[in-house]
Structure 1
Amino acid sequence: MTNRFVVVDLETTGNSPKKGDKIIQFAAVVVENGEIKETFSSLVSSHKPIPLFIEELTGLNNDMLKDAPTFSEIAPKILQLLDGAFFVAHNVLFDLSFLQEELIDSGYEGFFGPVIDTVELSRIVFPTADSFKLTDLSIQEGLAHDRPHQADSDAYVTAELFLILINLLKGLPEVTLRQLLKLSGGLKSDIALLLDEYVLGKSSARDVMPEGLEIFQGLVLRKKEELEEIDHPSEGIYPSTTEEKEAMFQKAFKDYEKRDGQVQMLDHVYSAFQEERHALIEAGTGVGKSLAYLLPAAIFANNTNHKIVVSTYTTQLQEQLLSKDIPLLKKMVDFPLEVVLIKGRHHYISLEKFHQSLYEEEDNYDTSLTKMQILVWLTQTVTGDYEELNLSSGGLLYWNRIKNDSSSFVNDRSWLSHDFYFLIRQRVNDAQIIITNHSLLMVDLNAENSILPPFEYVIIDEAHHFEKAVGKSFNQSIDYLSLRMLLSQFGSTDQRQTFFEFEQILKKLTIEDDEQLLHSFQMNQMIAELQFELDDLFRAIALFVKKNAKKGNQRLIKRVTHDESAKEWNSAVASAERCQFLLKDLHESLCKWVDFVKSQQFTLDEHQKITMNEVISFLDEIEQIRTQMKNLIIQPLPSHVTWIEMDGRATQNLTTIYSQPVIISEFLKEYFFEKKKSAVLTSATMTVNQSFDYVLDSLGLGKKDCSTLHIPSPFAYKEQVQVLIPEDLPEINKVPISDYVAAITEHIISIAEVTKGRMLILFTSYDMLKKTHDLIKESGLLDDYVLFAQGITSGSRSRLTRNFQRFEKSILLGTSSFWEGIDIPGEALSCLIIVRLPFTPPDDPIAEAKGELMQANGQNPFSKHSLPEAVLRFKQGFGRLIRKNTDRGFVIIFDRRIVTTTYGKAFLKSIPSVPVKTLDINEMLTIIEEWL
């Protein structure tokens, strides 16, 4: 096979060569025998004006192309470069389609040699990468890429990336390469040719298994870690003096900075465990709370042989604890420490199921690619947790087939020695500290087969989310799309899906033909009737929502009251009852045939086991749907609030019914806090007006049940932050939203020009965010700035934050999740704008139901719930600005209710004491300019 690769990148006037878009820059990098041998690049005169957005993206303009050669003039050189070579590009179909069009227009034949797409190759070789964009991959691999969107720079960095990729691919064990080769036929590029060569190379060289890997049942896996026998010293070693505590921190930190609040928290956590009481601790930003609770937890666990569970709300914090804080903790203590992170069972791969499905014939591109990603990932992962993988939506569908669960037909016990979930359960039993999440903590309370071992001591971090997370863990929901997908995946006998495969098993058993035919006919009829009835049910629900929900939003929300009398709702209830009967009949009929297969002396092959497993999973799901239909529609649970969310543009296709407990404080008190000896709850935001009352009440804790401690942030907020409130903006509730958006957009543009971007703007609704974003773009006044907007700019929250930090003049617009959990230290963020005080909308179903309950009990829902909840959220937003003691900046609050209403004081009293100024925009701009 040729060892010559030509890595190509193009800049063009648009996305479609068929619509007349042209190449304006061509670049190629020749790679031979693992080295870059030659480069070629040229601007290309296209006689087509360059659109403004392409000019902004690439930095190329019409003047620069005046004297450039035409494509016809450089075509011979391009063909000479490509002769006998692989054509390589990042998103190869884009570059190749343009090149083919231009070559044919110039009177040449197109390129018909082999092609390699480095996006596809990256997906396989880097299955855990955050992103497969060239810029992100170059950062990941430490490649210099200083001129993105210029063809010569992009081609060179793609060539460097390609060399890294093929070397990593070549280094994989022969067993893995052979498995990849079998799956590679359905790929979009000719990666199979590379794999074939590498397999031949391994075979002739007698491949040696790389260190740290092993072959088990035909799969190459990382060798599992041997568990250490931990011997616990019996004597207590908790440091008694401040100096001893600081000495422990000095073991882990070269430049240890003394933090009085951290030592204070250390003592409070340890005494809470010793005295068997609960504790609420608000620890401001910069206190170092993770180690302040991990250190006493480790010492207490070691001395008493008790397990400590640490629960968080976000996976980011779980990963931070495991990768950053636990290694530091292990340096601080002088005893061995076993710490384990555990998630729900479905997070982990079932190696047996993956092995069974690996050799099934696949004509689905996403499934083949996902299998290849997983084969490479298995040589790297020590957890088997799918959250490490970057899977497509089609890949996630395949994951559902191979996730770990308690399947009856996958029961080869030889897999247990390497089963990730089984091994993590073993490690949990030997661990002193177990890290998990709020949701699993609650699910585990009700589970018949508990995942967590018995424990009496727990730390709840990100505790301001605990009440909501508990409510969500009792959430039930059904949605139209998932139900239809479930039925279509099961299929009918003529669709060659699971039901067809199940019937093939039955045909191999001794069943009389007439009974078999009757069975098929009945099942087909039941599935068809059920699909018809589900359509009917969701049509009625859509009609109910459209007639009764508030107009004006794309996302319609309608609460269903317990005495709902609308005729459309009654129609939905009647339809749900018919669905329930059909589901019951389908379940009973399928169970009969599954039991029959189990009763036969018949050995199932691998494929048949997968089919039986899918049938059993289907049975579990339809039984669950029956229960949910009863609880959500037919007989709604009295202690729950039920509501429907629907996209007004797609009606029933995007319709979901939810149900959740209204109040969970009594449940928490009875089933959680009263059963634990000590629960320590901590967060940077727990007090409202310096009081813990709201959090205590919402969690079902009385003041006598626990101690409270407020540790302020060590940052010098008075010197680091100024709060500015414009007095020349309208009050948000007194003008139409369009007028308010127009007014704040003018202010944002003026402020951005003074701060040179570096702004995070927090909204409470996506609708207002989008309108503001569109108005800024329309104005053209911030065209020099890079604008990132949640829900508009593609990418996850972490990717948007990362990209925002990369550009000097950038502005980030965020809602919901951006109010917390994002960390932008240093000069990248100098100005935080809070557009609106973060009150939950009054028509939010849970807030509405809570309000009604409070009113019925003679309480004021606003002061008791709405205001304190908004204050805590405001504190979270405020905390985005100052992340280090060297940070400086402004918090600008557009919502004038903070100074014009009596309740506004509660917001300002709940943040650190900082200068607050109310002034007009011109005075504000002067202050910002002088201070920055």
Structure 2
Amino acid sequence: MSARTPNNIPASGFPLPYTILAIQPDDLTSLQDASYTLAHYGHGEKPEVRSGLDLEAIGGLAAAHAPGSLLAAYGPEDHLTERLWRIAAGIDAVVLDVRLLARILLPGLRDYERATVERYIDWGSEETEYVAAGPEETVDNVAEPAETAAEADDTGPVESAAGTEDALKTAMLCRSLLDLLASQDPDTMETLILLAEGTGTGLERLLARMTARTARTASRGDTGSRGDHSARSGERPPIAHTALGPPTIGDGSCDTAEADGDLDPMDTEELARLFETGGLFESSMEGYEQRPQQVSMVRSVAGAFNEGEVLLVEAGTGTGKSLSYLTPALIWAVRNDQRVVVSTNTRNLQEQLFYKDLPFLLENLGLDFRATLLKGRSNYLCLDRWQQVTRRPADHLTAEEREAAIPLAVWARETKTGDISEHAGFNRSAGAGLWDKINGEGTACPRCVLKEACFVNRVRRAAMASHVVIINHALLFADLQSDHAVLSRYSHLIIDEAHNLERAAVQHLTLEVGGWRMRRVLGRMHAPEWGGTGVLAGLDRLAKKAADNLDWKAPLEAGTRMAIDRITEVNRRIEDFFRIASDEAFGQSDDGSARRTKLRYRAEDEYAGILRSSARVLIEGLAGLRESLGLLHATLDQVHDSWLDDRESRGNAIVAAMDFCTAMEEALFVLTEANEGERVYWVEATRSQPLSCVLTAAPLRVADRLHDDLFRPLRTAVLTSATLTVGDRFDYQLERLGLDRIDPRRLQVRGIGSPFDYADQVLVCVPAAFPTPRSDAFQDAVSRLILDLVVSTLRSTLVLFTSYTQLNRTFQDIEPDLAEHGVAVLAQGTSGPRSALLDRFRRSDTAVLLGTDSFWEGVDVPGKALEMVILVKLPFAVPTEPLVQAQVERLEDAGRNSFFEYQVPEAVIKFRQGFGRLIRSTRDYGVVTVLDQRVVGTAYGRLFLESLPAGSEIYPDADGLVEGVTYWFRAREKRRVERGSFIT
């Protein structure tokens, strides 16, 4: 029997220290009385496969090869891992997750599903013979697998084809990846060994065994060894980073950031012809169809660049907005040696522009340009911090953090960008504590010794010389707040997803202080866990190791001890302050049993007075810590280089902590004085979790700042989105973004429709007789209608809520019944993270996805994977939210109608975004159902339906709606068959 073998993993020549026993559950859903298929792969012989084994039999086979059995599984469930470790405990065996090896050694993969890893390794066409052995064979005859090959091929039992294939692939993947592990350079191996030490993982034991084997081979004079990893002193030399350039596209160079001198305008009509029938894009893009809306937008954008205008353009879904603004922007930038900054709200759109649209334009436009993708500092690995934690992991990382860091060891040496988003094998959410210690945010960069190699500096230098720089809204405002220290001055700006611009500005200009964040940042200096981690713990150990006669020993020991004592005291004061803030907030809450509360406060409130009093104690503690860190920093200069070869790195970390103390002192003063009239202040607290408490101060109005600092200095600004208008008017966005103050001669607004035939592609429906959202019967009615509609149509459905409470209740109501009909129900916050939910939803034959706030926009699921959208309630902001309350008060105090001038416009824009989740191409069709009676029963509600590009159908009741929607889908299917059209 045979299976394919990998053909692109280098053979290391490194003797395998283990016999691989790869285990595959025969039934992934069974936890009790499970059977397994096992592929046994030893030192070069044919792999041997056994099916129908229980764990006791596997234990016997593992014991036969002990010491040296490696029990391998691919991404095993916790219960299987636990059982395998029980087998391994008494026989010097190791349990290894092969998926972890892939995450470590193949850091560039899209994901780490086994099929993805197999495709990367490229099994090729070679076939490997393997032996099929029966489960009834005894341990005694396992020792000579090659001798039983002929018999097994002729007389072996019938195997489970899927189990055999999966077990064999796991064994072969494991062997290939072990070869790749053994081929790593000595520095990477040393990093892996140091990080794995003390984690108690199978990888730690595997590396130790490989190290011992290498040492024995080296002692025999074998020149084929991979290097001696056994001589360890608990440290390793500084890394020699080999990464190349930043993320750029194209080889051109832009020398002028700001507009100056005469400018060369574009030929608008020549540019438009690129998009017309017979133009460049039709010949370059398969299935291209001319869209008049896209041509219209291209002309508008080109006109804005030529005339130096500020353009707001609402372009419907399907217009092709990105190419409509990127094409004229690139031509303008190259012709005039100008830089154009493009800002998006979401990472997905950022990456679409950079990895899809710009490469297409580079290939087809014939322009010599350069484009750079630039993100915020927290997205990039800090080489200085990484060097610190990998040289002395025990000084900086807990065991859990060391384990989380292991998948970064190879990536950190190979990455060209340092952008953590490129490494799908690192779970940034689960590894948040680790990433906080090694990313580029909050570091003392001006004093860094690795400034030239720094990922952030390199990508910023590339951005300075680029014609187009792709950023997000958060970085746009970070640059604005730093007086353009990030991007330097620029004169041309394109803002996509512009309906989120005000929200992004508010978020960035909001001041927050939370207990966990303060603890986490100070933990970089010292945390008591695991015998002490952090910079101070390392210095303390250094001082204690030094000889008594060294003149710097006593000052360093005393200075370190004082700083540790001060941090310990500050941590105590942090907990005291946030406990008081939390307890007092709950004391003033209307709901005494609530687990969470949010309380708005003003300077004159009793609560603010209590905060001020307790904050003084914390501020004094921070000032004392800052002083002691300053003294310690000065003491480092006395330590000889032979004892402190990373003086600059440790010193920079201390300075960064001092800067953080200063920032927290200032923030606490602002947040507790609470006397700035243009801010709103509130506290959020979780019962019994004082460190989860967060104090917040948000700006009430950002229009002035946007006009004065962002738009007024620009020569050209283009703002676009599919949802900028309310009632076909731009007035709301113009006022909120400060654009109503732009010279009317420079301000242009354009509404461009969608190329989609919404009248034909979409049915918008509402049940006339339905409980109102305030009714006690509303929840049951919602669950029943969703259930009936999905069962009747069997169409994949996105249900959008405005609260987690209702979402969770609906999930409980409908999940059991829909499961009986083979329909998967996925719920935000219950069924996994957002990206995983969307992936599962896309792959499911029929599924229901329940989502709240973040799912109302940015969800792109074309085709049959999404054919119904249900909008449960109109998406009004929660009126008790402090920022909403303050906005309402500000408008009412000015004699304006806050409901129609703020709350309704915000809800209409979000409602339109929710509607836009359904139709993503000209071939899509489906139904949008609105369950909120206000759209037909109130004057303001009708504004919502009128804002949609499709008409609506009002059904008498829920039963009539289900019947009507079912008929509509059947009619669509009949038309599709009659036309011979196969819509995917």
**TM-score bin, normalised by smaller chain:** 0.7 to 0.9
CA shift for structure 1 position 377: 1.1
Structure 1 residues 594 and 520 mapped into 2: Cα distance closer, same or farther (>3 Å)? closer
Matched, 1:176 2:206: no
Write the distance in 1 (CA, Å) between the matches of 2:808 and 2:565.
47
2:13 maps to what in 1? Answer: none
Partner SS, residue 739 of structure 2 = coil
Question: Structure 1 residue aligned with 2:737, among 699, 702, 711?
Answer: 699
Question: Structure 2 residue aligned with 1:431, among 462, 466, 477?
Answer: 466
Bigger shift: residues 162-171 or 697-706 = 162-171
Query: What are the equivalent positions in structure 2 for 1:240-639 lying under 5 Å apart?
Result: 240-241=269-270, 242-246=272-276, 247-362=279-394, 364-389=398-423, 390-391=426-427, 395-404=431-440, 415-447=450-482, 450-491=485-526, 495=532, 497-502=534-539, 510=551, 523=563, 526-551=566-591, 554-566=595-607, 569-598=608-637, 605-639=644-678
CA shift for structure 1 position 249: 1.7
| Alignment deviations for residues 701-754 of structure 1 (CA, whole Å, 9 cap, x no partner) | 127251111111111111111011123420012x13xx3222211111111112
CA shift for structure 1 position 531: 3.3
Contact 2:378–2:440 (CA under 8 A) maintained in structure 1? yes
Question: Structure 1 residue aligned with 2:34, among 8, 24, 28?
Answer: 24
CA shift for structure 1 position 449: 6.7
Write the distance in 1 (CA, Å) between the matches of 2:161 and 2:206.
26
CA shift for structure 1 position 883: 0.7
2:957 maps to what in 1? Answer: 920
1:116 maps to what in 2? Answer: 96
Write the distance in 2 (CA, Å) between the matches of 1:667 and 1:682.
20
Bigger shift: residues 871-880 or 545-554 = 545-554
1:89 maps to what in 2? Answer: 73
Question: Structure 1 residue aligned with 2:806, among 762, 768, 779?
Answer: 768
Contact 1:252–1:331 (CA under 8 A) maintained in structure 2? no
Structure 1 residues 526 and 441 mapped into 2: Cα distance closer, same or farther (>3 Å)? same
1:344 is aligned with what amino acid?
G
CA shift for structure 1 position 626: 0.5
Contact 2:254–2:465 (CA under 8 A) maintained in structure 1? no
2:882 maps to what in 1? Answer: 845
Partner SS, residue 180 of structure 1 = helix
1:211 maps to what in 2? Answer: none
| Alignment deviations for residues 615-658 of structure 1 (CA, whole Å, 9 cap, x no partner) | 2221111111101101111344321111111224x341321111
1:643 maps to what in 2? Answer: 682
| Alignment deviations for residues 143-183 of structure 1 (CA, whole Å, 9 cap, x no partner) | 99xxx999667545544653564465456456534543454
Structure 2: any 5+ residue segments left out of the alignment? 1-15, 125-159, 228-236, 256-261, 970-984
Contact 1:345–1:405 (CA under 8 A) maintained in structure 2? yes
Query: What are the equivalent positions in structure 2 for 1:653-664 lying under 5 Å apart?
Result: 653-664=691-702
Bigger shift: residues 667-676 or 89-98 = 89-98
| Alignment deviations for residues 678-706 of structure 1 (CA, whole Å, 9 cap, x no partner) | 21000111111111111111101127251
Write the distance in 1 (CA, Å) between the matches of 2:85 and 2:471.
53
Contact 1:313–1:462 (CA under 8 A) maintained in structure 2? yes
Partner SS, residue 314 of structure 2 = strand
Structure 1 residues 880 and 366 mapped into 2: Cα distance closer, same or farther (>3 Å)? same
1:556 is aligned with what amino acid?
T
1:386 is aligned with what amino acid?
I
Partner SS, residue 784 of structure 1 = coil
2:783 maps to what in 1? Answer: 745
Matched, 1:98 2:83: yes
1:48 maps to what in 2? Answer: none
2:849 maps to what in 1? Answer: 812
Question: Structure 2 residue aligned with 1:9, among 15, 24, 35?
Answer: 24
2:128 maps to what in 1? Answer: none
Write the distance in 2 (CA, Å) between the matches of 1:301 and 1:441.
19
1:698 is aligned with what amino acid?
R
Structure 1 residues 412 and 819 mapped into 2: Cα distance closer, same or farther (>3 Å)? closer
| Alignment deviations for residues 527-553 of structure 1 (CA, whole Å, 9 cap, x no partner) | 454334333322221122212334275
Structure 1: any 5+ residue segments left out of the alignment? 16-20, 45-70, 209-215
CA shift for structure 1 position 5: 1.8
Write the distance in 2 (CA, Å) between the matches of 1:149 and 1:537.
63
Structure 1 residues 83 and 424 mapped into 2: Cα distance closer, same or farther (>3 Å)? closer
Write the distance in 2 (CA, Å) between the matches of 1:591 and 1:614.
12
CA shift for structure 1 position 871: 0.5
Contact 2:818–2:825 (CA under 8 A) maintained in structure 1? no
Structure 1 residues 742 and 204 mapped into 2: Cα distance closer, same or farther (>3 Å)? farther
CA RMSD of aligned residues (A): 3.8
Write the distance in 2 (CA, Å) between the matches of 1:256 and 1:332.
14
CA shift for structure 1 position 356: 3.9
Structure 1 residues 276 and 599 mapped into 2: Cα distance closer, same or farther (>3 Å)? farther
1:710 is aligned with what amino acid?
G
Write the distance in 2 (CA, Å) between the matches of 1:351 and 1:847.
42
1:873 maps to what in 2? Answer: 910
User: Aligned pairs, how many?
Assistant: 877
CA shift for structure 1 position 316: 1.3
CA shift for structure 1 position 786: 1.3
1:836 maps to what in 2? Answer: 873
Partner SS, residue 653 of structure 1 = strand
2:240 is aligned with what amino acid?
L
Structure 1 residues 812 and 607 mapped into 2: Cα distance closer, same or farther (>3 Å)? same
TM-score (norm 1): 0.85
2:770 maps to what in 1? Answer: 729
Write the distance in 2 (CA, Å) between the matches of 1:437 and 1:757.
35
Contact 1:357–1:610 (CA under 8 A) maintained in structure 2? no
CA shift for structure 1 position 239: 5.5
Bigger shift: residues 283-292 or 921-930 = 921-930
Percent of pairs with identical residues: 27
CA shift for structure 1 position 297: 0.3
CA shift for structure 1 position 823: 0.8
Write the distance in 1 (CA, Å) between the matches of 2:264 and 2:507.
42
1:462 is aligned with what amino acid?
E
2:715 is aligned with what amino acid?
K
TM-score (norm 2): 0.81
2:466 is aligned with what amino acid?
A
1:337 is aligned with what amino acid?
F
Contact 2:264–2:336 (CA under 8 A) maintained in structure 1? no
Question: Structure 2 residue aligned with 1:224, among 213, 236, 245?
Answer: 245
2:333 is aligned with what amino acid?
A
Matched, 1:708 2:749: yes
Contact 2:254–2:467 (CA under 8 A) maintained in structure 1? no
1:892 maps to what in 2? Answer: 929
Contact 1:478–1:657 (CA under 8 A) maintained in structure 2? yes
1:18 maps to what in 2? Answer: none
Structure 1 residues 864 and 496 mapped into 2: Cα distance closer, same or farther (>3 Å)? closer
Structure 1 residues 409 and 818 mapped into 2: Cα distance closer, same or farther (>3 Å)? closer
Partner SS, residue 378 of structure 1 = helix
1:6 is aligned with what amino acid?
L
CA shift for structure 1 position 82: 8.8
Partner SS, residue 34 of structure 2 = strand
1:833 is aligned with what amino acid?
I
Write the distance in 1 (CA, Å) between the matches of 2:795 and 2:121.
28
Write the distance in 1 (CA, Å) between the matches of 2:543 and 2:912.
62
Write the distance in 1 (CA, Å) between the matches of 2:123 and 2:837.
21
Write the distance in 2 (CA, Å) between the matches of 1:231 and 1:838.
44
1:672 maps to what in 2? Answer: 710
Structure 1 residues 709 and 160 mapped into 2: Cα distance closer, same or farther (>3 Å)? farther
1:87 is aligned with what amino acid?
L
2:943 is aligned with what amino acid?
A
CA shift for structure 1 position 455: 0.4
1:58 maps to what in 2? Answer: none
